Structure 1
C-alpha cells in the first residue's frame, strides 16, 4: 500500500469515526404523551393522595414546569400542535369533530429524519390520518381500548394484542427500541390511552384507592353565578357522568359493557369480582341527591387514579429500559398530558376550557448534563414549544414558520426572560356544550371571549380569585386592566395570525353591569 493511499484511508476512517461520534452525541428523544392526566393528580404537583413515583422521578431528576399550558384543550388538536409547533389555526386540526390532520405538512419528526434520526410513534395517535414522518409506527385506531387493544401496523393491517393497553404500549415501545438501528439517534413518541374516559384500571390496580376518601373540591357545588358559558355546559359529575358507561355499574346501562366486552374470561372474572359487590352495595344504600353525586365522585376518583397507576408504572418501565441499556445519559425524556382535566373542580370532569384545571397541563423533562436535577420552572411554556425544543436539542435549525419557542434556554440556568402572556383558542361546539372561546392569560389576569354558543367576555383576577369564581368583566375599577388586556390579546391574535379570532374580536359586546 503506497503512502498516499494509506493517508486517504486514514482520513476516511477518521471521518467515519467523527460522524459516528456526532450521531451519538446528539441526544435520543423520548416523548411520553398521556391523555387527560390532570396535574393535580400527580405527586410532584402537590397531590398528597395520588401515587405517581415515576413521573415524580422525571421531575426530581430534571425539571418540573409549574406553568405548562396547552393552546387548545382537546385530544387531537393538542397532538397536532405538539407535532407541528403551530397553533390549531395554522396546522388545520381545530377540533375532533370536523378536522382531519394534514400529514403532508412539516412536522418536527420530519426535520429530525432529515438530520439522520430514526423516528417512531407507538400507541394513541388520534389524528384520523396515516402517520407521516415516522420510520416506524404502531397506533391505536381512534381512542383505542383499555383491554386487548387493536393496533394499526405500517402495512395498514389491524392486529389485536392481548393485555392491558398501558402494558401493551410499553411492550411495543421496547420491542421497537430493541430492533432499531443502534448507530443512529432516535426520537420515540409513546402515546398512552390512559387516563381517558372511561377510566378502566388494570385488574391488578382495581381497588388500590378504595380506602381513600377524597375531599370534595371547595367549588364542587359551584352554581356558576355570573358565568354564562359555565351555566350551559354539560359535563357535571352529578348530571352528565353515567352510572354504566363511566362508573361500571353495568346493570344500569348496557352501554357500560362497551368497555368490558373485549375482556377475556380471566379479565372479566376479575372485573366482575371487583365491581359487582360495589354495585350491590350501592343498590342497598338507595342513595339520591347530593349523597349519590358524592358517591359518584368517590367512585370516579378511585377509578381515575387506579387507571393512572398503570400509566405511571409503565413510564417507570421506560426509564428502567433506558437505564439498563446505557441510554439514560444521552436521552431527553419529556412527559406531558395532552391537556389538563377536571377532578371535581366546579363539579366537573373533562377538559376544553381556558379555566386553569383544563388549560394547565403537567410537563416534566429530564435531560442529563443539560438540566440540573431538581430544577423548578415558573415560566410560561406551552405544548407548542415541544417541537422547537426538541429540534434545538438535536442541533437542527428551527423552521421559521414554527410558532413555538425552545424552552431549553429557560432551564439551562441562564437568566432568560420567558413569556409575559399566553394565548388560547378552543373551537369545538359540540360535546359537553362548552362554548368556543379564545383568550389570554398573564401572570395576574385572564381575559376570555366566548362566542357561538354564548356571546360574552369574562375577566378574572387570578391573584384574588385563583379558582375563577368571580367574573369581573365590566366591574367598576377594572376599565384600564380590561383595556390593557384587550390590547395584549389583539397583539397575540395578530402574532399567531388567528383570522377567526380577529373577526370575532372586532365585534363589540357591551359589558354587563355587575
Structure 2
C-alpha cells in the first residue's frame, strides 16, 4: 500500500533542496530490545537498517525519563524545568516555540500522527491525528485535527497506515515535509497485534543477571520503588489474566471490552490455554518470578514486532518514491525501559536502562553507513539538530545543541556531561525525586524530598550500577569533581533548589485539589 508516487511528485522532489524529515518516536522502547544494540533479545531488522545505512548512538539519553516531559523536551529543545512540563501532571504550554512550528514557518508541510501524550491541539502541524492521553491498543480513538474519531483495528498498524496516507495524499508535494510518527507501543500494558499473539511461545527467556537484585548496596530509592515485576506488576493489566490466582476478576476485563468479536476470539485462543496452564501449575518463589518475567518480556517484544514492521513500511515508501536520499529518518524512544534489570519494569530512574534511549539515524547525503557515535547526546538536542539540517535559525533560548557535525563525521567536539531531573513523586511506581549528572565514565545522583541521599557509580567497572561508591575513599577525588560538574551544569541550564521547590509546590497543590474532589 502507498508505494508508488506520481511523476509530478518525483519531479518536485528532484528540485527540492531542504531535506525531508521523518521523526519516529516509540514509547518506552528499550535500547536492549533493538537488535542493532547487540543484546540478542529479539530481531528488529527494519530499525536496524537505520544503523546499517546510517548512524547508531550508543550513549544517547533523556533529560527526564517519563513520557510527557520527554516529549515536551523533544519539541522545545528545553529542559523540563524551563518548558514547564516536569511531570505527567503539569499542563504543557503549546503556545511556546517548538521545532515543528519553526519548520512550518520555514515552508515545511508538517504532520504529527500517533501518540503525543500532551493535552491540547498540537501546534506547528498542518495535520494532526493523535491519540488522546495514553490511547488504546485495540480499536483506538484518535483526535483528527482535534475531532475525536474511533478507528477499527490495531493501533500500531493504524498509525502506520495513516502516516503513509499522509505522505501519499495529504502533504503539499511542492514543499519539504516533516512527519512526526509516534507509536504507542511498547507502552504498558503491552497488548500484541492479533498476528503476533503467539510469537515467542516456543521460547523461554533468561532474565538479566541482576533480576533478583536485593538493593543491598544502594540506598532507599532503589529499595522503596514500586516497579518490580515480581511484586508490583498486576495480574490483569500486566500478566493478562482475567482472574487472579485467587479467582478474583482483574482489570484485564476492562481492556477486553474494546475488542470486537473476532479480536476477542483470537485473544482468548492465544492466552486462555496459557493462563489456565499457569493457574494449574500453582508456581511459587523463584519459578513464579521467572514465569512473570517471561509473560512480561514476551508481550513487550511482541508489540515491538509491529513497531518494526511499521518502520519497514515507511522505509519502503521512501525507496519506492525516490525520497530516501533526501530524507532524514530518525528512530528513538521517549526514554529507555527496564526489561528485568534490577527486577524492574517501567522507567523514571537515572540508572542506565531508563536514562539511555535508542537513537538511530539515516541521511545518505551526509551520514556514512555503519557510523557509531558514543557522545553524550540527549533528547534535548533533537530540535536544534533538525533545525540545523533544515537551514532554520536555532532560537537562542533552546538549550540543546545540534549533533549534525557528529553524525556527519566532520567534528567530534561535544559536551562532557549530561544532566537529568525527575519530579513525579509521590506517585505511581514511587520513584523518588532526583537529579544528577553523567560523564563518560561516572554518574552522580541526588535523591531528595523525603530523603537526602547521594549515589555515585563507576560505569566502566560497574556498568550494571550495583555498587554505590559515593562514600568509598578511593573515589573521593572523583566525587569532588562530579559535584563541581553538577553545580556547573545546573547553573548553565538554569536549575536550582528553588526551581525544585517551585515544582514541588505545584505538585502538592495539584494533589491537594485532587484529594478535595475525592
User: What CA deviation, in whole Å up to 9, does each residue of 1:411-467 have, x standing for no partner?
Assistant: 212233122111101111011010010000011110000011332111111111111
User: Contact 1:194 / 1:311 at 8 angstroms: preserved in 2?
Assistant: yes
Is 1:327 aligned with 2:316? no
Shift of residue 22, structure 1, vs aligned partner: 10
Give the conservation status (yes or no) of the 8 Å contact 2:237–2:251: yes
Q: What SS does structure 1 have at the residue aligned with 2:112?
A: strand
For the aligned residues, what is the CA RMSD? Answer: 1.4
The yes-or-no answer on 1:460 pairing with 2:457 is yes
Query: 2:79 maps to which residue?
Result: 87
Secondary structure of 1:250's match? coil
- Tell whether the 8 Å contact from 2:13 to 2:323 is kept in structure 1 after alignment: no
Is the partner of 2:455 in helix, strand or coil?
strand
Determine whether 1:374 maps to 2:370: yes
Select the residue among 142, 159, 162 that pairs with 1:169. 159
Q: Is the CA contact 1:386–1:404 (under 8 Å) kept in the aligned structure 2?
A: yes
Encode CA deviations 1:445-493: one digit per residue, 9 max, x unaligned.
Answer: 1000001133211111111111111111122222221111000000000
Whole-Å separation in 2 of the counterparts to 1:496 and 1:258: 44
Aligned to 1:72: 64
In the alignment, does 2:234 pair up with 1:237?
A: no
Instruction: From the superposition, tell whether residues 399 and 314 of structure 1 become closer, same or farther in structure 2 (CA, over 3 Å).
Output: same
Which whole-Å CA distance do the structure 1 matches of 2:412 and 2:278 have between them?
55
Residue 276 of structure 2 corresponds to 280
Indicate the residue corresponding to 2:359 in structure 1: 363
Q: Match for 1:113 among 101, 104, 124? A: 104
Question: C-alpha displacement at 1:501, in angstroms?
Answer: 6.8
Q: What secondary structure sits across from 1:440 in the alignment?
A: strand
The structure 2 residue matched to 1:24, chosen from 16, 29, 39, is 16
- Distance (whole Å) between structure 1 residues aligned to residue 202 and residue 119 of structure 2: 40
User: Aligned pair count?
Assistant: 483
Write out the 4+ residue segments of structure 1 that deviate beyond 4 Å after TM superposition. Answer: 20-23, 501-504
Give 1:200 shift. Answer: 0.5
SS of the residue aligned with 2:22? strand
1:160 is aligned to 150
Partner of 2:436: 439
The equivalent position to 2:174 in structure 1, one of 168, 173, 183, is 183
Q: Which residue of 2 aligns with 1:58?
A: 50
User: Which residue in the other structure is 1:123 paired with?
Assistant: 114
- Secondary structure of 1:104 counterpart: coil
Whether 1:487 aligns to 2:484 is: yes
Range 472-481 or range 71-80, more displaced? 472-481
**Counterpart secondary structure, 2:350:** coil
Q: Deviations over 1:204-230 (max 9, x none)?
A: 011111122111211111111132200
TM-score, normalised to structure 1's length?
0.92
SS in 2 for 1:328: coil
Of the candidates 17, 22, 26, which is equivalent to residue 34 of structure 1? Answer: 26
The structure whose Rg is larger is 1
Bigger mean CA deviation after superposition, 492-501 or 266-275:
492-501
Maintained 8 Å contact 1:493/1:501? no
Unmatched runs of 5 consecutive residues or more in structure 2: 1-11, 502-518
SS of the equivalent of 2:429 reads: helix
| Partner SS state of residue 212, structure 2 | coil
Per-residue deviation, residues 307-365 of structure 1 (Å, max 9, x unmatched): 11001101111111111122111110000010000000000000001000000000000
Residue 292 (structure 2) aligns with: 296
SS class of match (1:194): coil
- Quick check: 1:407 aligned with 2:403? yes
Query: How far is 1:54 from its partner?
Result: 0.6
The structure-2 alpha-carbon separation of the partners of 1:23 and 1:117, relative to structure 1 and needing over 3 Å to count, comes to farther
CA contact (8 A) 2:28 2:336 kept: yes
Indicate whether 1:422 and 2:413 are aligned. no
Partner Cα distance (1:380, 1:308) in 2: 26
Rounded Cα–Cα distance in structure 2 between residues aligned with 1:383 and 1:115: 22
- Sort the Cα spacing of 1:113 and 1:503 in 2 relative to 1 into closer, same or farther, 3 A: closer
User: 2-side partners of 1:121 and 1:322: how far apart?
Assistant: 18
Query: Aligned residue for 1:498?
Result: 495
Shift, 1:151, TM fit? 0.5
Contact 1:23/1:184 (<8 A) preserved: no
Kept in 1, the 8 Å contact 2:190–2:300? The answer is yes
State whether structure 2 residue 373 is matched by structure 1 residue 383. Answer: no
Q: Which runs of 5+ in 1 are unaligned?
A: 1-19, 505-514
Q: Shift of residue 21 of structure 1?
A: 8.3
SS at structure 1 position matched to 2:123 = coil
Measure the CA separation in 2 of the matches of 1:23 and 1:238: 57
In structure 1, distance between residues paired with 2:500 and 2:301: 42
Relative to 1, partners in 2 of residues 1:276 and 1:478: Cα closer, same or farther, differing over 3 Å? same
The counterpart of 2:94, out of the listed 91, 103, 107, is 103
Contact 1:100 1:129 in 2 (8 A): no
Tell me the TM-score normalised to structure 2 length.
0.91
Instruction: Please list the CA deviations of residues 131-183 of structure 1 after superposition, one character each: whole Å capped at 9, or x if unmatched.
Output: 111111011000000011100111x3211011100000011111111221100
Match of 1:314 among 310, 329, 334: 310
